[in-house]
Amino acid sequence: MQDLWNFALERYARSGVEQACLQLQEAGSDVCLLLTGAWLQGRGVRCLDQRLCALRNVAGPWQREVISPLRQTRRDWRAAAGQDTELAALREQVKKLELQAERVLFERLQALAEGWPAEASEDDWLIRLAGNDSAALQVLRDAVNQP
């Protein structure tokens, strides 16, 4: 079975997924959790309240304290970096840090969840994590369900 980081990278690279993830992120969803949920769903892991809570307890602080500040800095520098090559280079370094922080989060989420057993389940992790069934969520669902 593919590890969570490589699963996330491979699915994110599929057609339409990046845009769908950005829409879901703007709507308040944690894309790392959504991709983790898709990974768990693909493994046949049941979506239980205590598992959702455990995932959120790992992801929430890391998103708030590490990933979001890096993302906000990168976004804040977007316009100015177009006019300033040194700032553009620094912005690229921030982007790499943001990606590394996401990788660390995926590794932590995998460490938490990899022991959860596979069971026959029709649970929809994506709906439980996103809170609604949007068109963007359907794009993500379609992409992760393809082999």
The 8 Å CB, 24+ separation contacts for 48-55 are 51/113, 51/116, 52/128, 52/129, 54/112, 54/113, 55/109, 55/112, 55/113
Can you count the helices (H) and strands (E) in the chain?
9, 0
Q: At what angle do helices 135-145 and 4-12 cross, to 10 degrees?
A: 120
Output the pLDDT for position 133: 77
Residue 80: how many CB atoms within 10 A of its CB? 11
How much is the pLDDT for 24? 92
pLDDT confidence of residue 19: 92
Taking only the tens of pLDDT, the chain with its 147 residues reads 689 999 999 999 998 999 999 999 988 999 999 999 999 998 899 999 999 999 999 999 999 999 999 999 999 999 999 999 999 999 999 999 999 999 999 999 999 999 999 987 777 899 999 988 789 889 888 887 777
List the structure tokens of 3: 């590890």
Structural domain total, the chain: 1
pLDDT score, position 46 = 94
Boundaries of domain holding 73? 4-145
Q: How far apart are alpha carbons 81 and 76 in whole angstroms?
A: 9
pTM check: above 0.85? yes
